[in-house]
């Protein structure tokens, strides 16, 4: 089966539930292989995300699709390397903590766009995006923001597949669930997710706390009173994981999507 307007396609693979379900459904519904399946690695993804990308790459290749291509921002002049080292070097939190999205732009959007241009150029193509049927408003907000040669397609919305249907698609294909795709220092993580990470990946939590201390030191040295005290914005992750409950740790995250979301765990 051809893609919309009979154009070559690029699947922007986020590493979570939605993009994994799209890959499964494209194969199941008989779509021809896309030109690219591309994942932008911030260098600070969760271990389960890296493991699932390997599983989905094997699944794609087994069905005649291209392997998932991993790209990174590796230009030192543009804050290359990985997002954690960049933030630690600058002694700052990821941009979304301060209300802007430069972290997702630098480490997600830019490396993907650069690689797509190197392979396809500015030729017309379909960009497959993983917003599901529960995110129609989010998809509508992207209209008019794409390049002239880029034609956005939201197949999960077209197929009326919400989160439950995406999960079922993976289960029916005999694949494990992806888990939430997120940087381990993402300020948009919710309290229960932070506690879960502390239990499952204590080494990553230790690194996140180190970053909070570094950012606090710089804030003190600069004499700034921004009201941003840690990765929880108005509170520190370190304080959250030291408590037996989550009361008093306001969840400010739902209203500030960073653009990296790709399905909950």
What is the pLDDT confidence band of residue 74, given thresholds at 50, 70 and 90?
confident
Q: What is the pTM of this model?
A: 0.89
Question: pLDDT band at residue 250, thresholds of 50, 70 and 90?
Answer: confident
Q: How far apart are CA 144 and CA 138, in angstroms?
A: 13
Residue 125 has pLDDT above 80, yes or no: yes
Kindly report, residue by residue over 131-158, the tens digit of the pLDDT.
999 999 988 888 777 888 999 999 999 9
**Band (265; pLDDT cuts 50, 70, 90):** very low
CB 38 within 8 A of CB 116: yes
- 264 pLDDT exceeds 80? no
Q: What is the 3-state secondary structure (H, E, C) of 86-144?
A: HHHHHCCCCHHHHCCCHHHHHHHHHHHHHHHHHHHCCCCEEEECCCCHHHHHHHHCCCC
State the average pLDDT over residues 102-115. 90
pLDDT digits (tens, 9 = 90+) for 189-238: 999 999 999 999 999 999 999 999 999 999 888 887 678 899 999 999 99
Q: Which pLDDT score, from 0 to 100, does residue 146 have?
A: 82
Per-residue pLDDT at 77? 45
């Amino acid at each position: 089966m051809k893609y919309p307007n009979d154009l070559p396609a690029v699947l922007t693979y986020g590493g979570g539930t939605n993009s994994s379900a799209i890959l499964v459904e494209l194969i199941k519904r008989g779509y021809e292989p896309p030109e690219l399946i591309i994942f932008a690695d911030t260098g600070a993804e969760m271990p389960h995300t890296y493991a699932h990308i390997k599983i989905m790459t094997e699944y794609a290749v087994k069905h005649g699709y291209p392997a998932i291509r991993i790209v990174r921002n590796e230009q030192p002049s543009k804050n290359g390397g990985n997002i954690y080292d960049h933030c630690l070097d600058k002694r700052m939190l990821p941009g979304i903590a301060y209300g802007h999205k430069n972290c997702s732009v630098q480490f997600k959007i830019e490396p993907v766009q650069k690689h797509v241009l190197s392979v396809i150029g500015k030729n017309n193509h379909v960009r497959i995006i993983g917003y599901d049927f529960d995110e129609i408003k989010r998809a509508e907000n992207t209209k008019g923001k794409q390049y002239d040669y880029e034609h956005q397609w939201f197949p999960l919305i077209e197929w009326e597949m919400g989160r439950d249907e995406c999960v079922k698609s993976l289960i029916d294909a005999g694949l494990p669930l992806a888990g939430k795709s997120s940087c381990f220092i993402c300020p948009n993580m919710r309290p229960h997710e932070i506690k879960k990470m502390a239990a499952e990946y204590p080494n990553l939590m230790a690194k996140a706390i180190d970053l909070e201390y570094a950012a606090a030191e710089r804030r003190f040295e600069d004499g700034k009173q921004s009201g941003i005290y840690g990765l929880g914005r108005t509170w520190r992750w370190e304080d959250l994981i030291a408590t037996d409950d989550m009361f008093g740790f306001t969840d400010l995250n739902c209203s500030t999507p960073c653009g990296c979301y790709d399905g909950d765990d």
